[in-house]
Amino acid sequence: MADLNDGMYHISLKGEQFLSQLGDSEVILFPESSRTLKVEVKNTEDDLYTFRHNASGQYLTLDRDPQIFAQLVLGDRRAWRVVSLGDAFVIVADHPTENLSVGLDPRLEFPPKLALSPLFERDRAWTFHDAK
């Protein structure tokens, strides 16, 4: 279980690039700007977390079932497992046989997109910044 409190956050990868929105549902990484997503984090009863985009009411979810290279988008509610690394977190999708975490999409597009891939902890160092 992670030590992550419910609240409003901006979420960054290694404190450098932030979850941001492009178009209606595309989630990208971008330096902090007006595109930075303000996300409401809530712990569910089963120690999973939901991430709801404050402005649209949509949730961080996937463009298809959890599998390698499924992309992070805004859409219907999805719960995520969050693993603490001490000073940062790993965001993991529920999958019956694999630990798939949210990180940079390896297809190297610009702006950078996010996708699931096998768990590499430190490569997935997400930081939650208070956004009240």
Query: Looking at residue 121, what is its pLDDT?
Result: 57
Domains of the chain by start residue, with CATH? 7-130 (2.80.10.50)
Model confidence at 14: pLDDT above 90: no
Q: Which residue has the tokens 């989630």?
A: 27
**Is residue 122 within 8 Å of residue 7, measured between CB atoms?**
no
pLDDT value, residue 76: 96
Whether 6 shows a pLDDT value over 90: the answer reads yes
Averaged pLDDT for residues 1-29: 89
Report, as an integer, the average pLDDT of 111-129: 81
- According to DSSP, the residues that pair with 104 across neighbouring strands are 114
C-alpha to C-alpha distance for 25 and 41, rounded to whole angstroms: 18
Question: In the block, which residue shows the tokens 């009240």?
Answer: 132
Q: Is the pTM of the predicted complex or chain greater than 0.85?
A: yes
> Two tokens at 52?
């709801």
Task: Average the pLDDT over 13-39 and give the result.
Answer: 88
Amino acid at 112: P
Burial 81-94 (b: 16+ CB within 10 A, else e): bbbeeeebbbbbbe
**For residue 119, is pLDDT > 70?**
no
Each residue of 46-87: pLDDT tens digit? 889 999 999 999 999 999 999 889 999 999 999 999 988 888
Looking at residue 25, its pLDDT comes to: 93
